[in-house]
Amino acid sequence: MNKIFIDADVILDLLLHREPFFSATAELFSLIEYKEVQAFTTPVVLANIYYISSKIANKKSARDYIIKLLSIIRIASIDEKIMCLAANSTFKDFEDAIQYYAAQNESITFFVTRNKADYTVADITICTPDEYLQVYHQHSTN
């Protein structure tokens, strides 16, 4: 089973029904819900999702959405080691570095984001939801 990391932009595509990204993201989350893939994110992503969704809807709806996400997505740990790796990395964005090293620590196979340019220094396959689905379907038919 693939272990994938889900970045905040992908979760927001689902939450906000952002086109043209929504259908691929909805299909990806269907795979996650049916446990076809094991998905991870970080507390940082969830905090950002909560903040944004509470501004769009309300705090109760935002909390309910986080609870739903927690029922299908595992949390990648962020500890002192991850923070040191991120602080000493060549990533331009510190938050991106935290996400990347948390994913790497969980032995993630695919890092799913629409912001691929943010992860040019990577040993993990960085892909969009569409690209991940192509790989997934190619391997599931073989």
User: What domains can you pick out in the chain, each with its CATH number?
Assistant: 3-140 (3.40.50.1010)
Question: Residue 116 gets which letter from DSSP?
Answer: G
The DSSP-derived string for 53-75 is HHHHS-HHHHHHHHHHHHHH-EE
- Give the pTM: 0.93
Confidence of residue 92 (pLDDT cuts 50, 70, 90): very high
Percent of the chain whose pLDDT exceeds 90 = 89
Predicted local confidence at residue 8, as pLDDT: 96
Predicted local confidence at residue 62, as pLDDT: 93
